[in-house]
Amino acid sequence: MTVSDAHRAIEAVWRIESAKVIAGLTRLTGDVGAAEDLAQDALVAALERWPESGVPDNPGAWLMATAKHRGIDALRRGKLLERKHVELGHELEARQASPEGELAAALDDHVGDDLLSLMFTACHPVLSTEARTALTLRLLGGLTTDEIARAFLVPKATIAQRIVRAKRTLAAARVPFEVPPPGADLAARLSSVLEVIYLVFNEGYAATAGDDWMRPALCEDALRLGRILAELVPHEPEVHGLVALISLQASRASARVGPSGEPILLLDQDRSRWDHLLIRRGLAALERAVAPGGGYGPYALQAAIAACHARAATPEETDWTRIVALYDGLAQLLPSPVVNLNRAVALAMAFGPAAGLEVVDTLTSEPALEGYHLLPAVRGDLLDKLGRFAEARAEFERAASLTRNARERTLLLERAAAYGHRSATGEK
């Protein structure tokens, strides 16, 4: 095995195993920061040794064993002086002589609870949304600081600071490494986990800035985290609702981008290119979300809207009336101007552009939509359909000035420029 081959193998193993190792070490240390430091030490050891020795049969157990041994060494050098680290030292020394298989079994015994506890810790509401997102991708996604920075188009130093501050905040707040007990606290904490996963997915599905319309790797990370969560808490309907939503939306990924990376909007997509395996998985997850005792929460409602598109072989077959009704329900559960804007699009498709424009015009003074590029984009589209081309052009130009995504800006400017072509050729 060449060094480059070994490094690629180690990178793949780390993506798969790092969350389990960090979660297991956090259970033992009670400190996310110390756990990740130990796991990183084990990764460095793997990079040094595996190119010569090869990848072990059970790489996760090897990483865990190495991290534990590094913890013992640090303890003996006097670097881990707090009582919890002394207790960790006794735990580590008690297991130091354990065979690799026993270490793997010990890890597997707790892996589900540990991963779930790590999710709740990384997504704790004491942290800002940006910090929760960065920490989740680092600890559970196995992404490096540089990869997270590139994904969100912010400086590497900014992400590094967010992660360091997040760990310090968790330690200062003495956030316990546990799954909250059933009740209001569990519901609120679970909602925070779901929010982070969906934010990661959305940034991959419709990048807010940069040169790319999509970042598929983030979509894949969110899908993986969503599926892990669904396996760990199978009786939580909204978890299945989220998995359904991101699966159905992700099914359109290959049809959303043209040969040169240009955006292709929903009604213009070649639906034969949609991923029908993802659609089936999404519909199955939706069934679990709304099974008796479940009901339609916000994610399940959005998944039901996505399902209306997934079930339609052509745009003309879409059940827009049902989509309007689903948005009505979503507006009651999750009232927001963005939901109302999406409802206006559905109204326009079901009952004509004038009906949609009437609602959109009521949203133009909403403070929450100030600077939101999709408001003038939607208004421009409806004005276009009503034949008010000069107004439509102005709206598309405004939308282009507001978006931070280069691909989307190009699309909007092309739509605006088309009206100049019509004027020059006498088209209406």
pLDDT tens digits along 286-319: 999 998 776 799 999 999 999 999 999 999 999 9
CA distances in angstroms from 54 to 1, 2, 58, 366, listed in the order given:
7, 10, 11, 60
Residue 120, number of CB atoms within 10 A of its CB: 20
pLDDT value of residue 111: 65
Name the region of 318 (left: φ>0; alpha: ψ -120 to 50; beta: rest). beta
Task: Indicate the pLDDT class of residue 154, thresholds 50, 70 and 90.
Answer: confident
Give the pLDDT mean for 231-238. Answer: 92
Q: pTM surpassing 0.75? A: yes
Q: Which residues contact 205 (CB under 8 A, 6 or more apart)?
A: 214, 218, 219, 249, 250, 253
Give the pLDDT mean for 84-98. Answer: 50
Nearest to 232 by CA among 123, 113, 104: 113
Nearest to 178 by CA among 19, 20, 17, 30: 30
pLDDT value of residue 52: 87
Give the pLDDT mean for 319-325. Answer: 98
Where helices occur in 233-336 by DSSP H, the ranges are 237-250, 276-289, 298-311, 320-333
pLDDT value of residue 96: 47
Give the pLDDT mean for 236-245. Answer: 96
Average pLDDT in the chain: 87
pLDDT above 70: residue 277: yes
Q: Are 309 and 327 in contact (CB under 8 A)?
A: no
Give the pLDDT mean for 101-113. Answer: 54
Rounded distance between C-alpha atoms, residue 243 and residue 231, angstroms = 11
Indicate the residue type of 409: R
Residue 65, number of CB atoms within 10 A of its CB: 24
Q: Which residues contact 286 (CB under 8 A, 6 or more apart)?
A: 240, 241, 244, 248, 300, 303, 304, 307
* Parallel, antiparallel or unpaired: strands 404-405 and 209-210: parallel
* 314-340: b (≥16 Cβ within 10 Å) or e: eeeebebeebbbbbeebeeeeeebebb
Indicate the residue type of 254: S
Rounded distance between C-alpha atoms, residue 33 and residue 295, angstroms = 39
